[in-house]
Amino acid sequence: MKLRELGEFGFIDRIAGMVSERNGVRIGIGDDAAAIETSPGHLSLVTSDMLVEGVHFDLSFTDPFRLGRKSLAVNLSDIAAMGGLSRHFLLSLAIPPHLTVEFLDGFVGGLLGMAEEFNVTLIGGDTCRSTGGLVISITLHGEQVPDLVVRRNGARPGDLIFVTGTLGDSALGLAQLGAGEREGEAIERHLNPIPRTRAGMAIAEAGLATSMIDISDGLLADLGHILKLSCAGAKIELDRLPLSPFFREKAPLLSSDPHSLALAGGEDYELLFTVRPDRASEVETLMAGMGEHATAVGMINSSGMLSVLSSDGRQLEISRTGYNHFTGET
Ligand code: ADP
Ligand code: MG
């Protein structure tokens, strides 16, 4: 069935029929604006991310279900990186007329399944026709008490730099898709990232992090944002980067420089956070309690520079925006 036959309002009604209103939603889909209850004493955290066909996703690689999940995941990751609890979201779509209703049902099914898993409620959005590709824009609302919100600007010299999970898997998955592969653990991580929402909140509520960011553009680029806003530098140790078993096995087959995937590859949606050295031992306990893992990969310093030390003692040359290449001995 073509979207034309269903119409804009038929489509919105279909979505509205799939949403169960809770989470303090007073007025949900169907009026001129939504009304939500906010928790007393909390700040609202609001984030928005756009996914554009041909720029952020390729419909020949991704199925609608996982595209729906990922559209929400990237926003959940941003609220997690503030240490917040995600609660409500708006969904805006520009849809090319040739897309089928079956495709849209798959997309909405994936999206609302993800919403259910992470206890967030769809409260509205906007729908229009696209003369180009599919455009997905989600605005997510969350909250946290002011003292627990974790920003990018609090890293101080001596702080240890931690990352959750493993790095480079998504970039490896994208490379595998480009090479014609269609399934595997890395591809799954690329198409269906799982945001670290529980870890982000727990880190904030333990008051453990001096700064935090989610890794969407690669470790170096995102650490670069923390360094810039914290007016600091950092040293990363290459052999401390957490790499998955499948990354260790497959990355060398696809890349002559696998470490660059872990340092500069995007879309892992792990959290990077900095911790005062006297509290570093608490991180492992906290994460283990949630069945998760975080690894110390380096330390903040006052150099104003970001450097990466390889296991043989060589220093990699890094620009703030990303990874460049190996330079000689140091
Ligand atoms: P208006 O013309 O006043 O902007 P719309 O017709 O665009 O109203 O939207 C009607 C209702 O449907 C609103 O509650 C809006 O938030 C909701 N809505 C529109 N598109 C979507 C969508 N893609 N997902 C969820 N709700 C939507
Ligand atoms: Mg509208």
Tens digit of pLDDT for each residue in 272-328?
Answer: 999 999 999 999 999 999 999 999 999 999 999 999 999 888 888 665 445 444 444
CA–CA separation, 263 and 322 (whole Å): 8
Interacting residues of 274 by C-beta distance below 8 A, sequence separation 6+: 154, 155, 156, 159, 160, 161, 162, 209, 210, 211, 212, 226, 230, 300
What kind and span of H or E run contains 328? none
Q: Is the pLDDT of residue 90 over 80?
A: yes
Quick one: which ligand is closest to 29's CA? 1
Residue 95 in contact with ligand 1 by CB distance below 6 A: no
Is residue 93 lining ligand 1, measured as CB closer than 6 Å? yes
For 32-66, write each residue's pLDDT tens digit. Answer: 999 999 999 999 999 999 999 999 999 999 999 99
pLDDT of 320 reads 46
Percent of the chain having pLDDT more than 70?
96
Mean pLDDT of 221-247: 97
Specify the ligand 1 atom closest to the Cα of 9: 6
Q: How far is the CA of 276 from the centre of ligand 1 (A)?
A: 46
Q: Does 91 sit in the ligand 1 pocket, CB within 6 Å?
A: yes
Q: Left, alpha or beta for 53 (phi > 0: left; psi -120 to 50: alpha)?
A: beta
Averaged pLDDT score across all residues of the chain: 94
Whole-angstrom Cα distance, residue 291 to residue 275? 20
Ligand 1 binding pocket includes 135 (Cβ within 6 Å): no
**Ligand 1 atom 8: the closest Cα is on which residue?**
32
In this predicted structure, what is the pLDDT of residue 325?
A: 45
Tell me the residues surrounding ligand 2 (ion) with CB < 5 Å. Answer: 126
Structure tokens at 314: 């060589």
Cβ of 124 closer than 6 Å to ligand 1, yes or no, is yes
Average pLDDT over residues 123-133: 97
Ranking 1-5, 36-40, 131-135 by mean pLDDT, the lowest is 1-5
Q: Identify the sign of the CA torsion 68, 73, 74, 75.
A: positive
Enter the pTM of the model. Answer: 0.94
Beta bridge mates, 121: 88
163 CA distance to ligand 2 centroid (A)?
Answer: 40
Q: What is the Cα–Cα distance from 276 to 109, expressed in whole angstroms?
A: 42
CA–CA distance, 45 with 284 (Å, rounded to integer): 27
Q: How many residues does the chain have?
A: 330
CA distance 282 to 258: 31
Q: Is 126 touching ligand 1 by the criterion CB < 6 Å?
A: yes
